[in-house]
Amino acid sequence: MSAPQNSPVEPVRPDLAAAKATAAAKRRQRGMLHAIGHWLGLHAHGLLSSLGRMLQRPLAASMTIGVMAIAIVLPVALWLVLANVQRLSGNVQAARQVTVFLHQDVGMPRADAIAAQLRARHDVATVTVRSPAQGLAELRKTSDLAPAVDALEGNPLPVVLLIDPNDDGAGVAASLKAMPEVDVVQQDAVWRERLSAWLGFGQRIVWVLAIGLGVGALLVVGNTVRLDIANRAEEIGVLQLLGATDGFVRRPFLYLGALYGLAAGALALGLLAVAGLALQPALARLVASYGGDFHLHGPGAFGGTCLLIGPLLLGWLGAWLATGHHLRGNRPVRT
């Protein structure tokens, strides 16, 4: 009997190995795409179901959105008022101009020499020399005293120096008071500092209101979502018994809270726009009576975006807290 012969081992062909690797890569890619599609489908279902529940209860949804919008509008409107007051006052944080009235007998050559000395100082940014003729023309143009000004035989106005300091202007004002050519040094730092302090106090009030009303809006959303959870308690219990995860149960309520916040932010933007349109004509007439021109500034593109994203996150947080409390306290017992 002959001995059995070993069959030769067939070598692995490179084209077959490459085909297997390509097929495995395609399976992984299809699996990843399927997982992503499933994830997007779950979120789309949660978003659409939450939107549908809002539309089924328009009155309750409108009340929740309205309360949130008012809570958002109040601090934002106060902040916009303060920002516009700063602009109307000439940016009180930076405007520290020093006005110097020279003696009547000081002529333009001496005034130009004093201005040149001041421009050489490191604490002085700019110096503007206003002649008596320029001052008289400005007085005639910007006041109701034009007939009285025209009746004057001469020009009683002195040369005026307008100085923009690099700092608060206290040093340059003190040195100017000691000059013999100077009659009066007028510095608006005192009332500007007081106005700045009031504006700072107003900004602190804005933060306090924003935090307090933000917490109120958070509670409103949380309570609304809690009532919706209570109405669907049996449905949630069945889903949990079937093995639904907390994320699956929580998802539609998170979208519900986010939709409430987004709608409240949009309504707040609309209310601010309406308020601006209502106030602009009256403010324009008031500023025009002083010879000026002023337009109210709104939140702008960045502020408007924040006004949409902020309430959205606030609504999402309120819904997350409400659903988390329910899920922790109502775990189903499997028998």
**Higher per-residue confidence, 87 vs 227:** 227
Using CA of residue 92, residue 300, residue 309, residue 206, what is the dihedral sign? positive
Question: DSSP character for 294?
Answer: -
Domain boundary pick from 187, 212, 229: 187
**The domain containing residue 136 runs over which residues?**
98-187
Half-sphere exposure of 23 (CA within 13 A, CB side): 6
**Residue bearing the bigger pLDDT, 6 or 250:** 250
Q: What is the pTM of this model?
A: 0.61
200 and 148 together in one domain: no
pLDDT mean over 278-300: 75
Given a contact cutoff of 8 angstroms between Cβ atoms, the answer to whether 311 and 261 are in contact is yes
Q: What is the mean pLDDT of residues 54-68?
A: 86
Mean pLDDT of all residues in 46-54: 78
Reported in sequence order, the residue ranges of 19-106 that DSSP labels E, i.e. its strands, are: 98-102
Of 322, 207, 311, nearest to 265 (Cα)? 311
Q: Do 201 and 252 share a domain, yes or no?
A: yes
Average pLDDT over residues 49-73: 85
One domain for residues 178 and 109: yes
Classify residue 14: in a domain, yes or no.
Answer: no
Distance CA 300, CA 155 (A): 48
> Are both 206 and 228 inside the same structural domain?
yes
Model confidence at 92: pLDDT above 60: no
- Do 238 and 301 lie in one domain? The reply is yes
What is the per-residue pLDDT for 4?
52
Flag the least confident range among 17-21, 32-36, 322-326.
17-21
Which tokens sit at 330?
Answer: 């109502």
Is the pLDDT reported for residue 153 higher than 80? no
Q: Residue 137: inside a domain, yes or no?
A: yes
When pLDDT is cut at 50, 70 and 90, the band that residue 309 belongs to is: very high
Mean pLDDT taken over the chain: 79
Please give the structure tokens belonging to residue 74: 């109040």
6 HSE (CA, 13 A, CB side): 3
Q: Do 149 and 83 share a structural domain?
A: no
